[in-house]
Structure 1
Amino acid sequence: MQKYALLLLLTLASFTTWSQDKTPTITDKTKNSKAYSGYFNFYWDEKDGKIWLEIDKWDQEILYVNGLSAGVGSNDIALDRNQLGSDRIIRFVRIGPKVLMIQPNYDYRAVSNNPDEARSVAEAFASSTLWGFKVEAEENGKALVDFTPFLLRDAHGVANRLRTSRQGSYNVDATRSAIYLERTKNFPKNSEFEAIITFLGDPQGEWVRSVTPSPDAITVRMHHSLIELPDANYKPRSYDPRAGYFMTGYRDYATPIEQPVFKRFITRHRLEKKDPNAAISDPVEPIIYYLDRGAPEPIKSALLEGARWWNQAYEAAGYRNAFQVEVLPEGADPMDVRYNLINWVHRSTRGWSYGSSVTDPRTGEIIKGHVLLGSLRVRQDFLIAQGMVEAYENGTNPDPRLKEMALARLRQLSAHEVGHTLGLAHNFAASVKDRASVMDYPHPLITLDNNGNIDFSKAYAVGIGDWDKRSIIFGYQDFPDGTDEAGELKKIIDENLKMGFQYITDEDSRAPGGAHPYSHLWDEGKSAPEELRRIMRVRQKALSGFSEKNIPVGAPMGTLESVLVPVYLAHRYQVEATAKVVAGVNYTYAARGDGQATNQMIDDAVQRDALNALIATLKPEFLAIPERIIALIPPQPSGYRRDRELFKVYTGLTFDPLAAAESSVEHTLDLLLHPQRLARLVEQNARSKTRLGLAELLDALFAVVQRDRPITNPYLMELNRMTEKSLLHHVLNLAGDKEINQQVAAHALLSLSKLELNLASFGASRDANQSAHYAYLREQLRTFRADPSVYKVPAGPAMPDGAPIGCGE
C-alpha cells in the first residue's frame, strides 16, 4: 500500500512540474484582459496595469517611432509637446523563450541579387538589439510578451536632456508611471501606445523650476508607434546638392569600382499623377496636412492659409489639388502616423519652430510630416512692430497694423516649416532674388513711405516663392514611363541656373566667421551694406518717434524697455550679413560644367563699402539713445524682472544706455574681427596687394575712436571711450591667440604698438574721465605685455536674446 501511495505522489509531483513549465495559450493568458485588434494585437490587463503585445510578424521589417506627446514647456530644455523622437526599422526574432527586437544597420548595404554578397556586408557591421522580451504565452505561431517595461522606460532621453541642460539629475520613478490608455489605440496599419512617465530628481536649474509645479517630480507622456512600412513601389530620387532638399543615403558595397559607394537620395513624400502623360493631373493620392485643433483664431486661419500656399508649387509641377490642409478631425490622435500634423506648441519663452518628419530609412520616403510651431513667436513680431510706431496713440487699442504684420509672418512661418516636412532645406540666398523662397529666414521689410513714415505693407512676402516652385518641380515631377529621369532632372537644374537662382543652406550661412556674401539669416536686399544703411535710417525714424505711446495706457513704464530693445537693435542681423562681405568669397554648390561660381573674391570696392557701413554702427552718434527716451524708462516694477529679453546692465536696477550701446559695439566687432574672416583678409591681400588688408582695416577702426576733432558732448564722448575699450579688448584677444593665423596675430600686435605710441604722446588731460580712460588703456597693454598667456580680456555685455525673431528653424 505504501508503495502505491509513493508512486502516486511522484506522479502528481511530475504532473505539477510539467503543468508549471508549460507555456499557457494566449487565449488563457488574456481571458481577463481587454483586447485591442489591429496591426499588432495587444491586450490591456487592468488588474496589473500591463500591456500584453501579441507578436505574429517574425523577421518582418517594421517602423518603430517614439515621441513626446506631453512635454516640459521650456524652449531652452527643448522637450516639447508632440515632439518626434527617433524613427527606426526593427524586426522581432524569437530564440527559444526569448523575443529580441533588433534594429538592422541600413547605413551599410549591398544592393545585390547575390545573397552571399548581401550577407557579407550585414555581418561586417553591427546591428542593435533594442530590447529583449520573455515569451509569456503562445498560440498558433504567435507569442505574447509583456510590453509594459518597454513602454515605461525613458525612450525619449528626457533624463539625459535635463542633465545636459544642467537642470538636474533625474531618473524614472516606476511607482509614478503608468500606461496612458486614452492615447493607446490600434489601427490596421499602426499600433499606438502611450505612457505617463514621471522623473524624480534634484532640480538645479531655473528653466525646469519655471515650468513645473513641483520641479523634483516632472511628469511627461511618451508615445510609441509600430507602423507598417510602405510597399516597394516608391522610387527614390537622386540627390543633387543644387536642388534644395535634405539628403538621405547609405554605403552600397555592391557598387562597381568606378562608381561612388555612397548613394544619396532626397527625402520627399510619395506623390504620383493619375495620368503621368498629362501636363496637369489629379494625384493618385493627395498629400494632406492637418492643423492642430488647439490653435485659436485668427491664428488658425493664418496657419491654414500659409500652409496651403504649397499647392501653388505643386500646381507648377503639374498637379491639381495635390496638396491640401484641413483642421484635424475631432478625436484624432496627433501622434498617429496617418496624419501629417501642424502642431501649435506652447512654451514659457519664445523659441524655434521645427519641421520634422517620419521617414522610411530604406528609401527616404516621408511617411509623416510633423510641424511644431511655437505659440509665442507671433508675439515677437507684434513687439517688433510695436516699437516702430506710436502703437497705442489712441490709448489701449493697438494700431491694427501690428496684428496684421504678426499674422503675415505667421503665414510665412507655417509655409516655411511645412516646407521642411516636404523635404526642403533652408535657402538663405533667396532674399537676394526678390524673396524667392519661404525657406529663407525673412527679416520684416519695414520701410519708409514717400512722406518718411514707417510702412509695414511690405513686411512679409505673400505666397509661395519662385524658388520653392522650382524645388517642388525637381522633387515631385512625375515623369512618364520611359523618360530619362536623370536627364530631365538635369534640365530642371540647368533652367534654375539660367533663371538666376542661388541655393546656399545652413552650414555656409550660420557660422559667425562665414564668407558667403549673399547667404544670411534674417537679411534683406541684394546689397548687404546698402540694406544696413537703409535699416539704420528706419531705426533712426523709429527712435525719433519713440515715446510712452508705444505701450498701452496703464502699462508699467518699465515695460518700455522691452519695446525699445528690438528697435535699438534693428540693425543686428544686417550687421552680420554686411560683415560677411568683408573678406567674402562668392561660391556655390557648383557641379563640373554648370558654370557657377566656385571661389571668387568679392570686389574690393564692395568690401570697402561694407567696412564703411559697419564702421558707421560704431560711431557714438549712432549708438546714443536720446535723453528723452532714457528719461522715460524707470527700473522694472514689482512683479516684473530684468530677464534675458532686456539689455544687460552695470547699473543695478536702472536702465543703462551705455551698456546697451556696448552690446551693439561688441556685436559688430565680434563679427568683423572674427579670426577666420581676418585670415581670409590676409590671404586675399597676399594674392592682390591693392585689396583691403588687415592693417588698413585695423587702422580704420582705431580712427573711429581716435578722432582729430574732439567730441564736445560728454555722453557721446563716453560712448566713444567705451568703443575704444571694446576695440582694444578684441585686438588683445587676437594678439594673444595661439590658435589663429599668426599673421593675424602679428597685425594685432602691430596695432597695439601703434596705440602705445599714441598713448605715450598724449599729455595729461584736464578731463578726469579722459585721463582715467588713458590710464585704463595703458594698464591693459602693460598687463598683456607682462604675460599674454594669463591675460584675460573682460567680457562685454551680451546682446538681449534675438533669434528667433519670430522666424523659423
Structure 2
Amino acid sequence: MYKKLLLLPICICLSFGLWAQVQIGTPTIEQRTIGMKKLEGYFPLYWDKDNGGLWLEIDKLDQEILYVQSLAGGVGSNDIGLDRGQLGKSRIVKFQRVGNKVLMVQPNYKYRANTKNKAEKQAVELAFAQSVLWGFQVAAVEGDKVLVEATRFFLRDAHGVVNRLKSKKQGHYRLDNTRSAFYLPRTKNFPKNTEVEATLTFTGNAQGKHIRSVAPTPGAVTVRQHYSLVALPDNKYKPRQFDPRAGFSRLSYVDYASSLNDRIVKNMIPRHRLKKKNPQAKISEPIKPIVYYIDPGVPEPIRSAMLEGGRWWNQAFEAAGYKNAFQVKVLPAGADPMDIRYNVVNWVHRSTRGWSYGATVTDPRTGEIMKGHVTLGSLRLRQDYLIAEGLLAPYANGTKVPEDMQKIALARLRQLVAHEIGHTLGLSHNFASSVNKRASVMDYPHPLVKLKGNGAIGWADVYDTNIGNWDKVAIKYGYSEFLPNTDEKKALNKILNDAIKQGLYYISDADARPMGGAHPLAHLWDNGTNAADELDRIMKVRAKALAKFSEKNIRMGEPMSHLEDVLVPVYLLHRYQVEAASKVVGGLYYTYALRGDQQQVTRIVPAKEQQKALKALLATLEPKALVLPEKTLKIIPPKAYGYSRNHENFRARTGVAFDPLAAAETAASITLKMLLHHERAARLVQYHARNTKNPGLQQVITQLIEATVKSNIKQGYPGEVQKVVNNTVLYQLMQLANHPKAATQVKAIATYELQGMKEWFKNKQTSVKDRATKAHYFFAASEIEKFQKGIIKHKFTAPSMPPAGSPIGGGFHPRNACGFKK
C-alpha cells in the first residue's frame, strides 16, 4: 500500500510533464501563420500561397452560426440542373473542440423543446440524431481560439456534383485535387460573414449528351463552389404563424415542451424582417428596407424591365402600411451575388431553356429570411419570341422584327421577375389567380391573345402590368406590423376573412397540378374565368394562326425547316387549356377552409359544367382541329444541313420528313391522358354513385368512343388523323384498365368498354369496303385481344410524346422547380 501511494505523485508528475510538453509544443496562431496573408473578418482566414492552402481561425467555439454552401459557377445545362448561382443546403452549425479535434456539429432543429428547463431541452437533444459535418485537426492555440487547416473542407464536392452527373447519366466523375484550387477574388471576409470560393474540376468518362454539349472538354468539368459562414440574427425577430389560406410557405418543427392541451407541431411562415420607423403611423418608412439587387450582367432593355417588374412589390408593401419598404437596384460593381448580405436576381444562361427559381437562405429557428436568391433563365424571353412568331407571322418584310415582339417578351419578364421575387418573400404559388382578373403574380400566366374584330390576333393585354390584389393580401398577412396589445391572431384572421368576402381564391401547387388534379379553378398556364369557354376561345385563335401559317413566320435567309420549330407552340397552343378543362370533368370545388371561417368546404362541379368541359375537350380530337393545311405541309422540309431535330420538335415516325400524323397524335394524347387519368376516373365513379346526375366514368368513355372510334372515318388525310386518334383512345383505355393504382371499379369499366370495342371493331370490318379502314379495325380488335390474353412479348405502340412545353411552350416539371426553396 505504501509503495502504491509513493508511486502516485510520480505518476502525476509524469502526466503533468507530458501535458506540458504538448502545450509547449503547440504553436500559437501567430507563430503557425508566419508568412501567410491574413483576411480579417467574422472568422479570420489565413492564405498560405506557398502551399495553396487556407487556414481557419475559430474564435467562436460552441456558438451557433449559419453555414451555407452554393454553386457560384455552373455547368450550363438545364437538363443536368447545376446552374450558376444555385443555392445548396443552409445549416445551423457550431464548432466544438474535443482535445486536438474541432467538430462541426449540426444541431437537430426539427425537434425541439421551447422551454427554459435545461434538462427538458437536453432530453430532446439526446433523443434525436445530430450530424457532425466535418472534423478538423487543431494546429495552433491562442487562448480560446484555435487554428485549423480548412483546405480539404473547402476543396471538396460539397454540392454533390459527382452524384448529380451520375444520376443524370452523364458519366462517372471524381474530384481531381490537382486541378482544383481556391478562387481568391471571391474569397473575402466581413464583420458578420466569411465568404470562401473554390474552383473545382471533376474528371471522368463523359457518357451523356448534355454534358458533352456544354463542357469544352467533357472529360474535365470545372465549376466554382461557394461557402458562407454567417452570424445568425439576434433574437428580436418574432415568428409569424402559418395559415393555409394565406399563401405563404410552411415551415414546421416539433416542440416537445408543448402542453398536453397544445398541438405539438408548430408552424410558421418564412419572411424578411421588416419594422416601421413609426409603428403608430398608418404609413411609415421602414427602419431597414428590403433591397433586391439585379445582376449587372443583364443587358438593356432587359435590365430596365427587371427593375420595373421587381418594384411592383412596393405596391403590396404600401398596402401593408409601408413607404419605400421594398427597393430594387443594380448590384454594385465588385459585389459578389453569393454574398449572404445581398438579395439578388441572377440572370442565368443555359444551353436549353428551363425553369426559373426563387430560393432563400432562412434561419430555421425562426423562419426569418436572411437572403433572397432568384435565378432567372435567360432563354425564357426567346420562347415568348417564338410564340409570337408563330401567332403573328410577323416577317412580311423579310427580316424586320416588329416592336410588339420585344414588348411581349419584356412584359412577360416583368411578371416573371415579380413572381420569383415573390417566392423569396415567402410566398407560394397561387394558381387560382387567373379566374380573379389576374389577382396574383404568383400564378403561371399563359400569354393572353385575342382575335380582333378584323380577325387579326391582338396582344394588347398579353400579360399583367401590376401586382395583384391577392398579392397585397398575402403581404399584409406576412408583413403587417400591429400596435402593441393587438390580438395578432385575430388581426391576421380578419385580413384573410376580408379577402374571402371579396371572392379572392388561393389554391397552390399540389392542388393545381394537371395530372389527377380536381380543382376546376386552379390551373397552370391558363386564362379566363371558365376553363371550357377559354378552351373554345383559344382553339379559335389557334385555328386562325394555323390558317395563315406561311414562310412569313420565319425571317428571310433562315432555313425553311425552321418553320417546324415555330409551328410547334402554335399547333399546341391549347395544351394547357386542355389541362384546365380536363380538371372540370370529375372536378371538385374546395377551399383551405378552417373550422368557423364560414367558407364552403367542398362542392362537386355541377353536371352541366362537367358536360360543357367534356364537349370542349372532345372538340380538340376532331379532324378539323388536328389537320394541317396542305399549303403548310408543302413548305416544311426535313431539317437543313447543319441542323438536327431535338426535344422541341414533334417525334416523327417518318424519318427525316415532317410527320403531320405524329403532330395530331401528340395533341390527341395530351387530351386523352388528362381525360382518362386514373384518379379522375375514380372520382367520376364515386361522384356518379353519390348523385346520378353527375357524369360517371362509363358515360364519359361512351361519349368519347362515340366522338372518335365510332365516328365515320373520312377519306384521305383527315381519315388517317381519325385513325391516329382512335389508336390513341385505345391505348389510353388499355393503360387505364391496367394501371396499378387505378380503383377496381375503374379497371372493371375500362375492361368492359374494351371488350365492347373489340366486338364493335370485328363487326365493323364486315361492313366497310375500304381496305385501309378494314385494316384499322382489324388491328384495333387484335390489339385488344392481345391485351386481354396478356401476351407479354407484345408491345403496344405508345402515342408520340409531346415536345418540351413548360415553362410556356406538357413538358417536364420538377416539383418546386419554380417555387420557394428553403
Which band: TM-score by shorter chain? over 0.9
Structure 2: gaps of 5 or more residues: 1-16, 810-816
Given the alignment, which residue of 754, 758, 761 partners 1:759?
761
Match of 1:118 in 2: 121
> Over residues 537-575 of structure 1, what are the superposed CA-to-partner deviations in whole Å (9 max), with x where a residue is unaligned?
000111111110111110100001010100000000000
Matched, 1:140 2:143: yes
Instruction: Give me the whole-angstrom Cα distance separating, in 1, the residues matched to 2:596 and 2:399.
Output: 62
2:78 counterpart of 1:75: yes
> Which deviates more from structure 2 when the two are superposed, residues 741-750 or residues 310-319?
741-750
Residue in 1 that maps onto 2:299 = 296
Equivalent positions of 1:586-605 (< 5 A) are 586-605=589-608
CA displacement 1:277-314 (0-9 Å, x = unmatched): 10000100000000001011111111110001000100
| Conserved? CA contact 1:413–1:808, under 8 Å | no
- Name 1:230's counterpart in structure 2: 233
**Equivalenced residues, count:** 794
SS in 1 for 2:561: helix
2:738 corresponds to which letter in structure 1? G
Equivalent residue for 1:43, pick from 41, 46, 70: 46
Q: Offset of 1:21 from its aligned partner?
A: 7.1
- Counterpart mapping for 1:440-455 below 5 A: 440-455=443-458
* 2:813 aligned partner: none
> Of 173, 177, 188, which aligns to 1:170?
173
Taking structure 1 as reference, are residues 738 and 77 closer, same or farther at Cα in structure 2, changes over 3 Å only?
A: closer
SS at match of 1:676: helix
2:480 to 459, 470, 477: 477
The one-letter amino acid paired with 1:785 is Q
Deviation for aligned residue 1:768: 2.1
By how many angstroms is 1:19 displaced? 8.4
In the other structure, the counterpart of 1:10 is none
Q: Which deviates more from structure 2 when the two are superposed, residues 568-577 or residues 389-398?
A: 389-398
Q: Distance in 1 between matches of 2:737 and 2:256?
A: 50
The answer to whether residue 92 in structure 2 is matched with residue 89 in structure 1 is yes
Aligned residue for 1:269, secondary structure, equals coil
Taking the aligned partners of 1:739 and 1:270, their CA distance within structure 2 comes to 45
How does the TM-score come out when normalised to structure 1?
0.96
Cα separation, partners in 2 of 1:788 and 1:277, compared to 1, 3 Å: farther
Q: CA deviation at 1:786?
A: 2.0
SS in 2 for 1:224: strand
Counterpart in the other structure of 1:650 = 653
Pair 731,360 (structure 1): closer, same or farther in 2 beyond 3 Å: same
- Say if 2:377 is the partner of 1:374: yes
1:412–1:462 contact (8 Å) kept in structure 2: yes
Residue 628 of structure 2 is aligned to residue 625 of structure 1:
yes
Match in the other structure for 2:667: 664
Superposed, 1:94-493 pairs within 5 Å as 94-493=97-496
Alignment partners' CA distance in 2, 1:523 and 1:731: 27
On the 8 A contact 2:293/2:329 being kept in 1, the answer is yes
- The answer to whether the 8 Å contact 2:415/2:465 transfers is yes
Q: Does structure 2 conserve the Cα–Cα contact (< 8 Å) formed by 1:578 and 1:614?
A: yes
Pick one of 693, 703, 707 that aligns with 2:706. 703
Moved more, 20-29 or 590-599: 20-29
Contact 1:416 1:808 in 2 (8 A): no
Note if 1:33 corresponds to 2:48. no
The 2-side partners of 1:398 and 1:392 are apart by 7
| Contact 1:33–1:46 under 8 Å retained in 2 | yes
Q: Is the partner of 1:361 in helix, strand or coil?
A: coil
Tell me what 1:616 maps to. 619
2:12 matched residue in structure 1: none
Check whether the contact 2:626–2:664 (CA below 8 A) recurs between aligned residues. yes
The aligned residue for residue 27 of structure 2 is 24
Partner of 1:736: 738
Q: 1:4 matched to which residue of 2?
A: none
Shift of 1:113: 1.3
What is the alpha-carbon root mean square deviation over aligned residues? 1.5
The answer on whether the counterparts of 2:678 and 2:739 sit within 8 Å (CA) in structure 1 is: no
The CA distance in 1 between the partners of 2:791 and 2:429, in whole Å, is 42
CA distance in 2, matches of 1:721, 1:231: 68
Among 786, 795, 798, the alignment partner of 1:783 is 786
Partner of 1:684: 687
CA drift of 1:765 comes to 3.5
Quote how far apart the aligned CAs of 1:790 are.
6.5
Residues 735 and 19 (structure 1), Cα distance of their counterparts in 2 relative to 1, 3 Å cut: closer
Q: Output the CA distance in 2 between the equivalents of 1:252 and 1:790.
A: 55
Judge conservation of contact 1:721–1:773 (CA < 8 Å) in 2.
yes
Give the AA of the match of 1:308.
R
CA distance in 2, matches of 1:734, 1:316: 50
Identical-pair percentage: 54
Please tell me whether the aligned partners of residues 736 and 788 of structure 1 are also in contact (alpha carbons under 8 angstroms): no
Which blocks of at least 5 consecutive residues in structure 1 are unaligned? 1-13
Deviation at 1:696, TM superposition (A): 1.3
- Kept in 2, the 8 Å contact 1:61–1:89? The answer is yes
Per-residue deviation, 1:450? 2.0
Quote the Cα distance in structure 2 between the aligned partners of 1:374 and 1:147.
34
Secondary structure of 1:383's aligned partner: helix
Deviations 1:577-636 (A, max 9, x none): 000000001111110011223221100000011110000011111010111111110011
Could you tell me how far 1:141 is from its partner in structure 2? 1.8
